[in-house]
């Protein structure tokens, strides 16, 4: 349905996204994991044809077989909402505060499907029911500030679903929410993806949430896809040193115990921090922070290679172990 091949986005010669290759089919639930600056959001924006103007793009994007690298803005507009829709992180910022939420949700229906305002509002009501908004009739007439964070995120999901997209991209949809509300929103997205046979790309830095929502996972670091595979496999037996480091750094419910001297155990960390974009190594992006670095890591870029069925990683250690 959507195919990316070697999609690269660079700013002033510094690549913020390198050779992203991916295909998404209906029903796929793909998690994209990575820390700030890993290129997750840029990746999502590219899928929507909304990469910043300053970005220099190469590679190709095909949506339903149509080559979008030569597409105009109006071609993209035809695809957005109807084929690909997005849910953003901050529901308050994504909703117009001066508009009743019902009108906000009805708008894409009026624009894209040319139906009347009344028919669009009726559809909005059905969407509100589908995404589990309580008292949906009353909510249609309310403003964003009258809703709770979870309700607002549900409105945004209804808005994204309005034109029956084949792919829903959720960019950190639960980050701004309380844990129990986040859980319900995550489950809602999974339910909707299954019921509608819709593909879901779930972007988050929270591994636990991604584990719950997706069946496949893609780990990004410094604009590269460093590891891919089925979610449970990647989280249980990570291959790439970055994925390993990330999982080790999670607080593990090890309840703070003090030893005889009153010291608690420390959390595992990845040394250093992500360098700014122009200073990222040209080879493996993780070079310089990796515990198992080889001589060629900083200069020679490892290709994303298949390790076993459905699992791949980009790391020179795989070549060394294979030879």
Query: Which stretches of the chain bind other proteins, using CB under 8 A?
Result: 35-36, 149, 178-180, 182-183, 205, 207-209, 211-212, 235, 245-246, 249-258, 262-264, 266-270, 273-274
What CA–CA distance (Å, rounded) separates 130 from 140? Answer: 14
Is 35 or 233 the residue whose CB approaches other proteins more closely?
A: 35
CB of residue 257 to other proteins, shortest distance in Å? 7
Neighbour-count burial for 65-102, b at 16+ CB within 10 Å, e otherwise: eeebeebeeeebeebbbbbbbbbbbebeebbeeeebbb
DSSP symbols for 38-104? SSHHHHHHHHTT---TT-EEEEEEEETTEEGGG--HHHHHHHBTTTEEEE-S-HHHHS-TTS-HHHH
Is 135 or 178 the residue whose CB approaches other proteins more closely?
A: 178
Is 128 or 242 the residue whose CB approaches other proteins more closely?
A: 242
Is 126 or 250 the residue whose CB approaches other proteins more closely?
A: 250
CA distances from 141 to 19, 152, 163 (A): 45, 13, 21
CB of residue 107 to other proteins, shortest distance in Å? 30
Is 94 or 274 the residue whose CB approaches other proteins more closely?
A: 274
CB of residue 67 to other proteins, shortest distance in Å? 36
CB of residue 253 to other proteins, shortest distance in Å? 5
CB of residue 150 to other proteins, shortest distance in Å? 11
DSSP symbols for 161-190? HTT--SEEEEESTTTTS-HHHHHHHHHHHH
CB of residue 113 to other proteins, shortest distance in Å? 37
CA distances from 233 to 11, 46, 195, 217 (A): 34, 27, 25, 9
CB of residue 126 to other proteins, shortest distance in Å? 29
Is 70 or 179 the residue whose CB approaches other proteins more closely?
A: 179
Asked if 23 and 4 count as a contact pair (C-beta separation under 8 A), the reply is yes
Asked if 20 and 59 count as a contact pair (C-beta separation under 8 A), the reply is yes
Is 273 or 323 the residue whose CB approaches other proteins more closely?
A: 273
Q: How many residues does the chain have?
A: 323
CA distances from 244 to 231, 269, 274 (A): 14, 10, 16
What CA–CA distance (Å, rounded) separates 120 from 151? Answer: 20
Rounded-to-5 percentages of helix, strand, coil across the chain:
35, 25, 40
Is 68 or 177 the residue whose CB approaches other proteins more closely?
A: 177
CB of residue 207 to other proteins, shortest distance in Å? 6
With vertex at residue 151, the alpha carbon angle to CA 180 and CA 79, rounded to the nearest 5 degrees, is 110
């Amino acid at each position: 349905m959507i195919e990316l091949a070697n999609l690269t986005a660079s700013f002033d010669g510094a690549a913020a996204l390198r050779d992203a290759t991916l295909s998404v089919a209906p029903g796929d639930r793909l998690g994209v994991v990575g820390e700030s600056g890993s290129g997750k959001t840029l990746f999502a924006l590219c899928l929507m044809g909304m990469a910043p103007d300053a970005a220099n793009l190469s590679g190709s994007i095909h949506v339903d077989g149509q080559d979008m690298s030569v597409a105009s803005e109006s071609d993209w507009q035809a695809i957005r909402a109807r084929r690909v829709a997005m849910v953003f992180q901050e529901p308050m910022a994504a909703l117009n505060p001066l508009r009743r939420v019902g009108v906000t949700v009805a708008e894409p229906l009026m624009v894209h499907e040319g139906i009347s305002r009344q028919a669009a509002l009726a559809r909005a009501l059905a969407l509100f029911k589908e995404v589990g908004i309580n008292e949906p009739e009353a909510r249609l007439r309310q403003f964003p500030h009258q809703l709770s964070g979870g309700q607002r995120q549900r409105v945004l999901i209804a808005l994204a679903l309005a034109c029956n997209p084949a792919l829903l991209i959720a960019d950190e949809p639960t980050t701004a929410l309380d844990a129990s509300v986040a859980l319900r929103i995550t489950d809602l997205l999974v339910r909707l993806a299954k019921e509608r046979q819709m593909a879901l790309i779930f972007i988050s830095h929270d591994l636990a949430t991604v584990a719950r929502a997706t069946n496949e996972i893609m780990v990004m670091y410094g604009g590269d896809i460093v590891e891919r595979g089925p979610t449970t496999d990647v989280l249980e037996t990570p291959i790439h040193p970055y994925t390993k480091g990330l999982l080790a750094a999670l607080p593990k419910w090890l309840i703070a115990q003090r030893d005889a001297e009153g010291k608690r155990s420390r959390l595992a960390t990845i040394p250093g921090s992500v360098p700014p974009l122009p200073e990222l190594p040209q080879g493996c992006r993780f070079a310089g922070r990796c515990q198992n670095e080889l001589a060629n890591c900083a200069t020679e870029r490892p290709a994303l290679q298949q390790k076993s069925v459905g699992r791949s990683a980009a790391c020179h250690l795989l070549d060394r172990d294979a030879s």
